[in-house]
C-alpha cells in the first residue's frame, strides 16, 4: 500500500529496550503490554479453573479442602473478569482505536501509561492474599455479611478490596482517555457515523466504565470502612443493611458484563465484513443498538437479586428481557452481513463465527434467567455458571482470540500460522462446549454453584466428569496457540501491510505502524476508507477485485 516511507528513527536517543517498554507512552506499546499482561493473568486464572474442575470431577474432596476451593473460585472469577477480559479488550482498543480513527496517539498518553501500570499492581495485590494467610474467599461478588470482618477475618479480603479499587481506578482513567481520544482526535473526514464499529463499541464501553465503575469503588470503600474502621453500612445489628451491598455491586456488575462483551462485539463486527467482503449490514442500526444496550444496562441490575425477595420482580424481568431486542438486532445484522457474502474461513473468521453461535446460547440462557419464577429455580446453580461462561468465554474470549489472529499481522507484520490456528479453534470450540454445556443440565437438576463437593447420589457425576474433560481440552488447545505465537514471532510469514484486504484505517499504515502512526492518511468518506481506496467502482455487482487491488508486497 501507499503511506509507508518511515523517517529513520533517531536511534541515538533510544535507551535499552527494557527501559523503553517500561517507560513508554506510545499507545501501541501500551496496548501490547496490556495484552501480554492480561494473557498472563488468563493463564493463572485458567490454571485455577483446572484446579476447580479437577476437584469437581467426581464426588468427594480429592485435592483441596473447602477453604482452598473457595479461594480458588474467588480468585478465578475476579482475575478472569478484572484482569483478563476487561484489560485485554482495553489493550486491543489501545492499539487499534487511535489507528482506526487516524490519530497519532491517545489524548493523554501519560495517563494511559499510568492506567496500564495500575493493573499488574492491583492484580498482584489481589493474588498476594495467598502469601498472607489466605486469599479472599467470598466469591467475586463478595456478598455481605460474609465479607465482614466477623466472617472473613483474613487480610486477603482487604487486599482484594484494595487491588480491585486500583484496577477500577485504572479502568476509569482509561475510559476518560478513550472518550476524549474518540471525541477529540479523529482524522479529518472521520465523522461519528463513519467511525469503525469497534470504535463505537469502545466509546459506549468507556461510557459504561465511566459511570458504573465509580459506584463499585464507592461500595468497596464502604466495605473497607465496615471491615476496618467499625463502620456499619452493611451491618444489620448496627442498623445497616446487607442488601445495600448487592444493589451497589450489581448496579456496577451488570453494566460490567456489557463492558466485557461490547468491545468483543465490535471486534466481530470488524472481522465479519472483511471476510464476507460486504459492508456491515445496518451500520446505523448497529450503532443505535449498542447505545441502547448501554442505556438499558443500568436498569436491570436487580435480576441478580430476584431471590432476595426485596426487589420489584416484573420491572426487572421486563427490562432484562428487553435487552434481547437490541442484542437481537446485532445478531441479525451479523447474519445479514454473511448472507450472500463471499466467505473465507480464516482463523479470525472462525473465531468470529464461533462468537456469534456461542454467544447466542449464552444470550438465550440469559433470557431464561430473566424470567423471575424460573430464576427462583436456577439462581445460584450451575445454570448461571453455564450462562456466564457462554457469554464470557463463548462471547468475549472468542472475540479476544479473533482479535488476536486478526490484528497480529498489524502488530508484528507477520501472520499467525493458519493451520495451527485452525487446530486451536477446533479444540477450543469442542472443549468449550464439552466443558460448559453440561453445566446447564447440572443447574437445571439443582446443583448449586460454589460448592467444593457434592453427593454421589445426586446424579450429577457424569455431567461433572464431561465438564472436567472439556476443561482440559480447552487447556490443550492453548498449546498450539502458544506455539503459534512463538514460532510466528521468530520465523513467521511476512505478509505486508494489509494481508486481509481489510476496510479500516489501521490497514493504511505499515505493519507494525511507525511512532505516531501515519505519514499520510487516505480520505475518509465512508466507514470503509481503505476499502474505498481499493475499489473505486464498488457498486457494480460482479466487479472483479483483483484488477483494482494494489499489489501486495
Partner 1 sequence: MSAETPAAGAPAGVRPLVAERREAGMPTPLVGMLLFIASEVMFFGGLFAAYFNSRATHQGPWGPPHPAPELEILPVALPITIILIASSFTMQFGVWAIRRGDTRKLKLWTAVTLLLGVVFLIGQLYDYSQLGFGISDGIFGTTFYTLTGFHGAHVFGGAVGLTILLARSLQGQFSARNHVAVEAISMYWHFVDVVWIALFTTLYFLR
Partner 2 sequence: MRRFAAGTRVRSVLRVAVPLVLIFLLGGCLMPPTPETTQARDVFNLYILVLALGAVVFVAVEGMIVYSIFRYRRRDDRLPRQIHGNTVVEIIWTAIPTVIVLVLFTFSTLTLARTEAKAQNPLTIEVDGFQWQWTFRYLDANYTVTGTPTNPPVMGLPVNQPIRLILKSNDVIHSFYVPHFLVKRDVIPFPPGQPLNQLEFTVTDEGTYAGQCAEFCGDLHARMTFTVQAMSNAKYQQWLADAKAGKSPPPAASVAPGAAEAKLVAKGIAFDQQKLEVPANQAFSLTLDNQDTVQHNVSISKGQQVLFRGELVAGGKSMKYQVPALPPGDYVFQCDVHPIPAMTGAITAK
The per-residue DSSP string of 148-159 comes to STTT--SHHHHH
215 binds, among ligand HEA, partner 2, partner 1, none (CB under 5 to 8 A by kind): partner 1
Nearest-approach distance from CB 257 to Cu ion, in angstroms: 6
Among 63, 183, 318, 376, binds partner 1 (CB under 8 A): 183
Residue 309's binding partner out of partner 2, partner 1, Cu ion, none, with CB under 5 to 8 Å set by partner kind: partner 2
* Cα–Cα distance measured from residue 80 to residue 66, given in angstroms and rounded to the nearest whole number: 21
d(CA 3, CA 268): 27
Please spell the DSSP secondary structure of 243-273, one letter per residue. HHHHHHHHHHHHHHHHHHHHHHHHHHHHHHH
By rule CB under 8 A, what count of residues binds partner 2?
95
Please give the grid coordinates belonging to residue 218: 464507592
- The answer to whether 368 and 386 have CB atoms below 8 angstroms apart is no
Residue 163 interacts with ligand HEA (CB under 6 A): yes or no: no
Q: Answer yes or no whether residue 307 interacts with partner 2 by CB under 8 A.
A: yes
C-alpha cell at 450: 460454589
Among residues 133, 456, 515, 523, the one that binds partner 1 under rule CB under 8 A: 523
> Nearest CA to 34 among 99, 85, 79?
85
Select from 9, 67, 377, 525 the one that contacts partner 1 (CB under 8 A): 525
- Are 263 and 201 in contact by the 8 Å Cβ rule? The answer is yes
Q: Minimum distance from CB of 93 to partner 2 (Å)?
A: 25
Q: Is residue 80 at the binding interface for ligand HEA, with CB under 6 A as the rule?
A: yes
Stretch that binds ligand HEA, among 72-80, 104-112, 159-167, 342-350 (CB under 6 A): 72-80
> Are 136 and 73 a contacting pair, CB within 8 Å?
no
225 binds, among partner 2, Cu ion, partner 1, none (CB under 5 to 8 A by kind): partner 1
Task: Kindly state whether residue 456 participates in binding partner 2, applying the rule CB under 8 A.
Answer: no
Interface pick for partner 2 out of 91, 156, 174, 240 (rule CB under 8 A): 240
Q: What angle do CA 204, 125, 37 make, to 5 degrees?
A: 55
Backbone phi, then psi, for 3, in 5-degree steps?
A: 65, 5
Under the binding rule (CB under 6 A), the answer on residue 304 touching ligand HEA is: yes
Helix axes 155-184, 197-228, angle to 10 degrees: 150
- Could you say which residues in the range 116-175 bind partner 1, by CB under 8 A? 172, 175
401 binds ligand HEA (CB under 6 A): no
Cβ neighbours, 10 Å, residue 67: 13
- Other C-beta atoms closer than 10 Å to the C-beta of 184 total 9
Q: What's 552's DSSP letter?
A: P
Least distance (Å) between residue 214 CB and ligand HEA: 20
Question: Which of 367, 439, 65, 469 minimizes the C-alpha distance to 447?
Answer: 439
Applying CB under 6 A, does 375 fall inside the site for ligand HEA?
yes
**What is the closest distance, in whole angstroms, from the C-beta atom of residue 472 to ligand HEA in the complex?**
8
Closest CB to partner 2 among residues 267, 475: 267
In angstroms, how far is CA 330 from the centroid of its own chain?
17
> Taking CB under 8 A as the rule, which mask of x and - marks residues 325-364 in contact with partner 2?
x--xx-xx--xx-xxxxxxxx-------x--xx--xx--x
Judged by CB under 6 A, the chain residues 261 through 300 that form the site for ligand HEA are 261
* Angle in degrees, 0-180, between the axes of helices 155-184 and 66-78, rounded to the nearest 10: 10
The CA R_g of the chain, rounded to the nearest whole Å, is 23
Is residue 255 a contact partner of residue 319, using CB atoms and an 8 Å limit?
Answer: no
Q: Does 254 bind Cu ion (CB under 5 A)?
A: yes
Cell numbers given for 541: 455487482
Q: Which residues bind partner 1 (CB under 8 A)?
A: 2-3, 102, 107-108, 111, 172, 175-177, 179-180, 183-185, 187-188, 210-219, 221-222, 225-226, 229-233, 235, 238-241, 243-244, 247-248, 251, 508, 518-523, 525-526, 532-533, 536-539
Q: Which residues bind ligand HEA (CB under 6 A)?
A: 43, 46-47, 49-50, 52-53, 56, 73-74, 76-77, 80-81, 84-85, 139-141, 257, 260-261, 303-304, 320, 323-324, 327-328, 331, 360, 363-364, 366-367, 369-370, 375, 379-380, 384-385, 387-389, 391-393, 395-397, 435, 449-450, 471, 474-475, 478
Amino acid at each position: 500500500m501507499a503511506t509507508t516511507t518511515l523517517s529513520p528513527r533517531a536511534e541515538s536517543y533510544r535507551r535499552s529496550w527494557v527501559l523503553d517498554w517500561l517507560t513508554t507512552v506510545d499507545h501501541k506499546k501500551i496496548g501490547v503490554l496490556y495484552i501480554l499482561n492480561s494473557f498472563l493473568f488468563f493463564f493463572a486464572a485458567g490454571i485455577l479453573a483446572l484446579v476447580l474442575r479437577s476437584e469437581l470431577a467426581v464426588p468427594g474432596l480429592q485435592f483441596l479442602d473447602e477453604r482452598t476451593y473457595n479461594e480458588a473460585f474467588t480468585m478465578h472469577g475476579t482475575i478472569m473478569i478484572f484482569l483478563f477480559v476487561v484489560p485485554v479488550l482495553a489493550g486491543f482498543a489501545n492499539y487499534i482505536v487511535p489507528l482506526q480513527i487516524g490519530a497519532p496517539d491517545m489524548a493523554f498518553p501519560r495517563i494511559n501509561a499510568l492506567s496500564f501500570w495500575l493493573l499488574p499492581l492491583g492484580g498482584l495485590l489481589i493474588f498476594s492474599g495467598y502469601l498472607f494467610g489466605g486469599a479472599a474467599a467470598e466469591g467475586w461478588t463478595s456478598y455481605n455479611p460474609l465479607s465482614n470482618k466477623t466472617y472473613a477475618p483474613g487480610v486477603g479480603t482487604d487486599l482484594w478490596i484494595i487491588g480491585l479499587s486500583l484496577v477500577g481506578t485504572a479502568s476509569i482513567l482509561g475510559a476518560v482517555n478513550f472518550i476524549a481520544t474518540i471525541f477529540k482526535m479523529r482524522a479529518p473526514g472521520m465523522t461519528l457515523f463513519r467511525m469503525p464499529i469497534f470504535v463505537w463499541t469502545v466509546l459506549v464501553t468507556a461510557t459504561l466504565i465511566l459511570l458504573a465503575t465509580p459506584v463499585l469503588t464507592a461500595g468497596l470503600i464502604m466495605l473497607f470502612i465496615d471491615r476496618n474502621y467499625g463502620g456499619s453500612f452493611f451491618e444489620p445489628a448496627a442498623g445497616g443493611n446487607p442488601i445495600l451491598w448487592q444493589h451497589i455491586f450489581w448496579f456496577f456488575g451488570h453494566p460490567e458484563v456489557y463492558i466485557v462483551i461490547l468491545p468483543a462485539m465490535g471486534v466481530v463486527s470488524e472481522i465479519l465484513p472483511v471476510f464476507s467482503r460486504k459492508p456491515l449490514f445496518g451500520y446505523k442500526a448497529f450503532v443505535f443498538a449498542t447505545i441502547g444496550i448501554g442505556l438499558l444496562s443500568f436498569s436491570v441490575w436487580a435480576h441478580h437479586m430476584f431471590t432476595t425477595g426485596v426487589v420489584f420482580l416484573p420491572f426487572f424481568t421486563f427490562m432484562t428481557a428487553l435487552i434481547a431486542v437490541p442484542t437481537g438486532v446485532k445478531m441479525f445484522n451479523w447474519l445479514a452481513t454473511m448472507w450472500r457474502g463471499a466467505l473465507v474461513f480464516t482463523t479470525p473468521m472462525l473465531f468470529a463465527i464461533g462468537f456469534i453461535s456461542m454467544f447466542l446460547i449464552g444470550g438465550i440462557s440469559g433470557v431464561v434467567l430473566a424470567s423471575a419464577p424460573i430464576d427462583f429455580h436456577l439462581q445460584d446453580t450451575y445454570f448461571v455458571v453455564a450462562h456466564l461462561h457462554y457469554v464470557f468465554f463463548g462471547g468475549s474470549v472468542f472475540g479476544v482470540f479473533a482479535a488476536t489472529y486478526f490484528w497480529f499481522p498489524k502488530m508484528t507484520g507477520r501472520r499467525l500460522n493458519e493451520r495451527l490456528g485452525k487446530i486451536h479453534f477446533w479444540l477450543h470450540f469442542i472443549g468449550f462446549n464439552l466443558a460448559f454445556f453440561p453445566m446447564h443440565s447440572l443447574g437445571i437438576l439443582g446443583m448449586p454453584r460454589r460448592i467444593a463437593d457434592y453427593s454421589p447420589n445426586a446424579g450429577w457425576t457424569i455431567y461433572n466428569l464431561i465438564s472436567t474433560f472439556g476443561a482440559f481440552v480447552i487447556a490443550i488447545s492453548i498449546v498450539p496457540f502458544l506455539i503459534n505465537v512463538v514460532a510466528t514471532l521468530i520465523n513467521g510469514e511476512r505478509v505486508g501491510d494489509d494481508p486481509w484486504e481489510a476496510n479500516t484505517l489501521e490497514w493504511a499504515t505499515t505493519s507494525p505502524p511507525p511512532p505516531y502512526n501515519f505519514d499520510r492518511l487516505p480520505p475518509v468518506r465512508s466507514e470503509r476508507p481503505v476499502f474505498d481506496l481499493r475499489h473505486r467502482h464498488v457498486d457494480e455487482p460482479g466487479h472483479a477485485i483483483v484488477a483494482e487491488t494494489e499489489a501486495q508486497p
